[in-house]
Structure formats: structure tokens, C-alpha cells
Copies of this chain bind each other. A is one copy, B any other.
């Protein structure tokens, strides 16, 4: 395509609301246009990228026996009521009424639709296992759309659903899909994506992994062991603590007037915060009852773990006095019976703790949990810390990092098949409930993530496999007859061999042409100039600066063909 024909517009300045590289470059480079909060139209350049990503996804899904289907975007609420999610999910789920007054939803994920499609169809054990997938638009009414295509409200997603007659079969297929995901990310140019264990959240099920591109601008906190394979989302990362040692002391009440934080109290008593008890108060969404989470003073409460333990959403508590709680002075001993206490396992590591006395202006020292509080259930509700202990190898080798979630996979079990009454006839003639896995990758977010991973100060560096065009042909001084003739011919010849070329023959300066090319991010560049042709050469370079060479003009076609082929092969792609 000629550069001039491409519908797009580039901007020199960084728009005010753009903070991360992919957002900045995709706005500056004319990749997309904001239509509304978290809603974008994609310009042709981006559609070319996402179409290539979608093709890679299709190939990999087909390779693990996936069958492509298409579910509706707008669905009657009925099937969402069957699964229970119509009521369970908050305002992320768009609900509306159709002209007949019927409740409808916009699909934010399609487990219900997958079960609805398969439930009367796959009625014999002989039809299992099978996997169906689609690449389709979803709408999730995110409260905080941000970062361009990283977190949007409307997005295109590849979502897959597998059905099985046994846990073993699900686990086996889950691993096949896990590996297919690794291939998808590698082929899209981000082999560095890691997988972490994750919380299954509203999806249900027990085993789940997220695929994460590690980057400081990521929204997710990750815990990664420097010594072994352990990798988890902060939400679920298991915590392990060393015993702090020390001896039991006498329980004493001390006046701590006006000291409401554990740091103040420990400083006042010259104690390490590790040897104290922190109390954080929540209320449960299910019944508004008060919950006090007790953790060691140096640990933060992991609200996802707490939520899972309580089996309820939680929110920061209001009006503590209503529950008989003395804000700033709450402790495990003598706690109001109106509130539920949850004890973190970190509290077991110290025989001698400082804690609130449940009385305005007083703390206790020398608290021994067993002696002074009694036999309580301890659970893991703490947040992993930098250089904390790895729950797998046991070394002090945890690193905290950040990542963008580019994919996720879930072993759903029977959450949907059971609630929606899906059955099959087993070998022995009995009716059984199949179990499911589900597997998602957002197309636009993956494109933006690749840009996060591969860019320089001047623009994206698209991997050859998903680049909008494979080669950018720059004719410097296309008004020069020789340049024009050579470049036109090379353009034709490259296209004739099936290579995708963006041909810039505008009468603009080299500076403008190259900075536009940088924003376009095409991995291979061929520059035809009067000076070069005088010496019988053209210049071939890679966008990532790993190559810059003058090639004999007559060999340019073959050179480019070889480079494109090699760059694709490096990514595990043959076209």
C-alpha cells in the first residue's frame, strides 16, 4: 500500500492523558481513535496487526483440536440467571431491556453461551472431550478504563471452552492449552510472557493461571522466585514465615494515648513492628457484618485471600464504634463478640506481641496468642513481600514485580455445567455432568502489550509476525526519476513475491519520512535514495537497529525476501 493511501494521521506531541508507551505511540501513530470512555475504533494499521494476531490464535487453537464457533454479543438474561451470574456480577455486566421488555445482557465472557450451545448437543460420552472457541467482541463496563488498549470496556477476545468427562482429561487438556498459549505469545513476539497461578475470581473453579508480560507499567502485582519456578499473582501467592524466636513475657496493659498506628506504638515502645499485631477492619457485602483481619505488624492484608476465605466481597468498615470497636486500639484479646476475627498465619511466628487493648488509649504488650487468645484458626491472608520466603524452594528469594495480564486459563470444574443442567450419558448408561476449562486472550490488549515490550523512544517495534506490513519502502526524493523508477519496481516485485509493503513516496524530508516510519514500527526498512543509487546500493535496516547495511541495488529484492523469511522463522511463523 502507498503510505499516502493509508487512512491515518500522526501527531508529534504526546496527548495529555497518555502515560504508557503503547498508549502514547498508538495515539501518536494514528492506530486508534477514542469513541467513548474505554471504547475505540481501530484504524487500518491496527486492524492489520490484530488480524494477524487472530490468525495466529486460530492456528494454535485449531492445532489443539479447537472448533471455531460464534456466540452472540447480546444475550437474553435467562442463561445468565441459570448460572447465577446475572445476580452475582455487579455493574461490569451491562444489562438492558429489548423492545419486548425482556432482560438482556452484553457478553463479557461466554461460559453460559458455551454451555447453552453444547448442552443438548454433546449428550454422549463419545463426543468428549471437545473444545470450542470464538473470536468475538465483548463488553465489560470497567470502572477504570485506562492505558489505551490495555484496559478498555469493549474488546475483541479469543475465548475457548473445553468440555471433559474426567478431571484427568481436563488437566491434560489444560496443559495442552497452556502450551498453545506459550506458542501464541512466542509467535506474537513476546516469548518472555510468564504464567502465574491466579485467583479464579468470578469465573469459579480452583486451578487458574494468568499469562503475564512483566513490565513496570503492569496493573498486576506478581510474586516471582529468583531461585525456582514459583510464580504467582500477588492475589494468591502463598506466604511462608520464619519463626521470629524470643520468649513469652507477661501480658501488660500500657497507656498509648493518641497513638493510633502500629508504627507509632512500636516506636513508642521501641519494638520491631514484626513483633506487633495489626488490625484491619472490613464489612462483608453479604450481610454488612464486621470482620477484623489480624496480621503481623510488618505484613499487609491480602484482600483477595480474605475475600476468598470469607466467601464474600468486603469493603472498608464504616462507623467502627457501632460494632464496639475502638479504632486504633483493636486487638485479639477481649474483642467485641459482634465481630468476626480472622487470624493470619504470621501471628504464629512470635510468642510475644504488641496489640491493641480494645480500649481507647491502651495497648497490650507480651501477648501470646495461645495463652492469651486461645485456640484459634489461622489462615493465610497476608501479602507476599520482597525477599520473602518462597513457598516452593524455601529460600528468601521472592521478587515482587508488575505485569500486564495478556491471557488466562481456568479449570472451571462443574460450576456452569452443573448450574445449567448439562448432562451426558456415560458408558454405563448413567447421566453425568461434564466439567469445563476456559481459556481467554484479549486481542487488542495483546497488541498493546507487544508494543509495551517492544518499542524505543520513537515508536513501536512490531515483530515481523504481527507487523501491519512486513517492509517499509522509503523513496527519498521520489521526484528523482531514477529513485522513482527503482522504488516503483521494487515495490511491484516485493508485492509480487507476496511480501507486504508500505511504500512511502511522499515528497517529504528524510526526517519526516523516518520519524513516521518509526511510529509505524514496521520491522524492516528499505531506503532508496539518489545518493545510494549513485553508488549502486540501497539501504536495508531493521527497526530494532540490529541491522543497517548497504546492499547492492540488484540484490535488494532477494535480501529483503530472505530477511523477511528469517525474521518470521525466528518467531516460529512461516508466513
Residues of A within 8 A of B (CB): 4-9, 30, 33, 35-37, 39-44, 46-48, 50-51, 65, 67-76, 78-79, 91-92, 94-96, 98-100, 102, 104, 106, 113, 116-118, 120-123, 126-127, 130, 132, 134, 136-137, 139, 141, 143, 153-154, 156
The answer on a CB contact under 8 Å between B41 and A137 is no
The residue on B at minimum CB distance from A77 is B36
Contact of A72 among B40, B48, B72, B74 (CB under 8 A): B40
The answer on a CB contact under 8 Å between A7 and B130 is yes
Least CB distance from A417 to B in Å reads: 15
Give Cα A121 to B45, complex, Å.
14
With A69-B47, A70-B50 known to touch, is A96 a contact of B98 (CB < 8 Å)? no
The residue on B at minimum CB distance from A123 is B9
The answer on a CB contact under 8 Å between B9 and A141 is no
With A44-B67, A44-B69, A44-B132 known to touch, is A98 a contact of B9 (CB < 8 Å)? no
A65 — which chain B residues lie within 8 A by C-beta?
5
The answer on a CB contact under 8 Å between A36 and B76 is yes
The answer on a CB contact under 8 Å between A130 and B76 is no
The residue on B at minimum CB distance from A130 is B7
Least CB distance from A544 to B in Å reads: 27
A156 — which chain B residues lie within 8 A by C-beta?
70
The answer on a CB contact under 8 Å between B94 and A74 is yes
Give Cα A40 to B92, complex, Å.
24
With A7-B118, A121-B8 known to touch, is A69 a contact of B43 (CB < 8 Å)? yes
With A48-B68, A130-B7, A132-B7 known to touch, is A39 a contact of B121 (CB < 8 Å)? no
A7 — which chain B residues lie within 8 A by C-beta?
67, 69, 117-118, 121-122, 127, 130, 132
Least CB distance from A540 to B in Å reads: 27
Least CB distance from A169 to B in Å reads: 15
Least CB distance from A328 to B in Å reads: 35
Least CB distance from A144 to B in Å reads: 11
The answer on a CB contact under 8 Å between A154 and B72 is yes
A106 — which chain B residues lie within 8 A by C-beta?
74
Give Cα A15 to B92, complex, Å.
37
Least CB distance from A112 to B in Å reads: 9
Give Cα A52 to B433, complex, Å.
35
The residue on B at minimum CB distance from A90 is B99
The residue on B at minimum CB distance from A9 is B121
Residue of A69, A71, A76 with highest tally of chain B CB at under 10 A: A69
The answer on a CB contact under 8 Å between B35 and A72 is yes
Give Cα A143 to B141, complex, Å.
27
The answer on a CB contact under 8 Å between A117 and B33 is yes
Residue of A4, A9, A113 with highest tally of chain B CB at under 10 A: A9
Least CB distance from A269 to B in Å reads: 47
Give Cα A444 to B408, complex, Å.
31
The answer on a CB contact under 8 Å between B44 and A68 is yes
A96 — which chain B residues lie within 8 A by C-beta?
94-96
The residue on B at minimum CB distance from A66 is B44
The residue on B at minimum CB distance from A143 is B99
Least CB distance from A400 to B in Å reads: 31
The answer on a CB contact under 8 Å between A141 and B35 is no
Least CB distance from A174 to B in Å reads: 19
A141 — which chain B residues lie within 8 A by C-beta?
98-99
The answer on a CB contact under 8 Å between B132 and A35 is no
A117 — which chain B residues lie within 8 A by C-beta?
7, 33, 41, 43
The residue on B at minimum CB distance from A120 is B9
User: Can you list 15 residue pairs at the A/B interface with Cβ under 8 Å?
Assistant: A4-B127, A7-B118, A33-B117, A33-B121, A35-B72, A35-B113, A36-B75, A39-B72, A41-B113, A42-B70, A47-B70, A73-B154, A74-B106, A98-B153, A99-B143
A154 — which chain B residues lie within 8 A by C-beta?
72-74
A44 — which chain B residues lie within 8 A by C-beta?
67-69, 132
Contact of A130 among B5, B95, B102, B122 (CB under 8 A): B5
The answer on a CB contact under 8 Å between A69 and B91 is no
Give Cα A76 to B33, complex, Å.
14
Least CB distance from A372 to B in Å reads: 47
A68 — which chain B residues lie within 8 A by C-beta?
44, 47-48, 51
A132 — which chain B residues lie within 8 A by C-beta?
7, 44
Give Cα A68 to B123, complex, Å.
40
A-B interface, 8 closest residue pairs, ranked by CB to CB distance from nearest: A96-B96, A36-B76, A44-B67, A91-B99, A42-B70, A9-B121, A41-B117, A99-B141
With A94-B98, A98-B94 known to touch, is A73 a contact of B139 (CB < 8 Å)? yes
The answer on a CB contact under 8 Å between B121 and A71 is no
A51 — which chain B residues lie within 8 A by C-beta?
68
Contact of A42 among B69, B73, B153 (CB under 8 A): B69
Least CB distance from A510 to B in Å reads: 21
